[in-house]
Amino acid sequence: MSQDNNSTEIEKKPEKKIGHNVVGIRFKSCGKIYNFEIGNIDLATGTQVVVDSDTGLGVGYVVVPKHTIKKSNEPLKKVLRVASEKDIEKIESNRLLQEEAKAFCAEKAKEYNLELKVVTTETTLDKKRLVFYFTADGRIDFRELVRDLAAKFKTRIEMRQIGVRDEVKMIGALGACGRQACCNLFLSSFAPITIRMAKEQELSINQSKLSGICGRLMCCLGYEHREPGEESRARAQHRRASAANTADKGKEKEVARDRSSGSVTEKGGTAEDTPVKTGSAREERPGRRRRSRRRPRTDSPSDKKPVQQKVEAVKPEQAKPQTEQTDKKKNRNSRRKFWKNKKNTANEKK
pLDDT at 305 over 70: no
Average pLDDT, the chain: 76
* Residue 343 backbone phi and psi in degrees, to 5: -70, -40
What pairs with residue 223 in β-bridges?
Answer: none
Distance between CA atoms of residues 35 and 63, nearest Å: 10
Q: How confident is the model at residue 346 (pLDDT cuts 50, 70, 90)?
A: confident
Mean pLDDT of 34-48: 85
The pLDDT value given to residue 75 = 79
Distance between CA atoms of residues 334 and 344, nearest Å: 16
What percent of the chain clears pLDDT 70, i.e. is strictly above it? 68
| Domain 89-162 listed as CATH 3.30.950 | no
DSSP string, 16-65: PP--EEEEEEESSTT--EEEEE-TT----TT-EEEEE-SSSEEEEEEEEE
Nearby residues of 194 by Cβ (< 8 Å), 6 or more positions away: 217
Burial class (CB within 10 angstroms; exposed 0-12, middle 13-18, buried 19+) of 38: buried
Lowest mean pLDDT among 165-179, 198-212, 314-328: 314-328
Length of the chain: 350
Distance between CA atoms of residues 32 and 22, nearest Å: 15
Mean pLDDT of 40-55: 85
Lowest mean pLDDT among 55-69, 226-240, 280-294: 280-294
Q: How confident is the model at residue 251 (pLDDT cuts 50, 70, 90)?
A: low
pLDDT at 133 over 90: yes
What percent of the chain clears pLDDT 90, i.e. is strictly above it? 17
Name the more confident of 274 and 148.
148
Q: What pLDDT digit, counting tens, does each position of 223-242 carry?
A: 877 665 555 566 667 677 77
Question: Which CA distances in Å does 72 have to 19, 27, 37, 64, 338?
Answer: 9, 20, 11, 17, 127
pLDDT at 345 over 60: yes
Torsion sign, CA atoms 314, 319, 324, 329? positive
Q: What is the CA radius of gyration of the chain?
A: 49
Distance between CA atoms of residues 106 and 148, nearest Å: 12
Q: What pLDDT digit, counting tens, does each position of 150-164 carry?
A: 999 999 999 999 988
Query: Domain segments of the chain: what residues?
Result: 20-83, 89-162, 169-222
Q: How confident is the model at residue 68 (pLDDT cuts 50, 70, 90)?
A: confident
- pTM value is 0.57
pLDDT at 106 over 90: yes
